[in-house]
Structure 1
Amino acid sequence: MFSFFTTAEANEALPDVIKKYEYSLAKRNEITKLEHQLQLILSTGNSFEEYVPLKQQLNSTITKYYESLEILESTGVVVKSIEQGLLDFPSKRFDEEVWLCWKYGETEIKFWHEKDSGFMGRKPVENVDLKDLV
């Protein structure tokens, strides 16, 4: 179900969101590692006995990765970049739809930006307290 977040609601949801994000990131990193291992097997001429099980493991990990993204976004957050650790929470500033912006490593929601601007357009939340504007 879709809903807008206040700053307080986003901060309250953040610990669970971080946990789910970290799981997704771990799956993404596992995919990268498995892809590298598969390329190594192909380039060194190893047998299908090594390749096939690893390829099946990659397929399973890809499935788990996409499932983890669905679970993460079911919290109401929108994933902008797993690799860069960018997630946005839909919010409102007066009548304008905006994003509350979070980057991996931050301990709370400190920034927001307009719908059409990204990470570079972030503005500090304290300038406009979005929790009172929804």
Structure 2
Amino acid sequence: AILVAVGALAYAMIGERLVGLWLRDAAAAERVAPVLAVLLVGSALNAFYNIGYMHWLVQGLPRRILAVNLSALLFSVTLVPLFVRNFGVIGAAVGWLVINFLGFALSLGWVRILHARQRA
């Protein structure tokens, strides 16, 4: 969580400038930076979601994994094309964000277990 927070703060402070240096084009960096920010948030959620995913593997709950993956597939096939058609590239990035948010939200069972262990 600390690494994600530090990365988010660093990107918020100097991300667009770094993208500009990398692309060597300020106009392109201005267009790419918001998309990259959405993708980074989705990736951060994916990192946290993987904690729950690993918990499901350890607990032997493959049906939960299957359910989340099928919901992500269904979302990708049905809604992402609509997002892309209506919002362009940022729509695709928002699709990635939503898929990872759903996985994160559905995998939060590990938080209850951690909390219960801390109370004991």
State the TM-score, normalized to the length of structure 1. 0.31
More strand per residue: 1 or 2?
1
* Structure exhibiting the larger radius of gyration computed from Cα positions: 1
State the TM-score, normalized to the length of structure 2. 0.34
More helix per residue: 1 or 2?
2
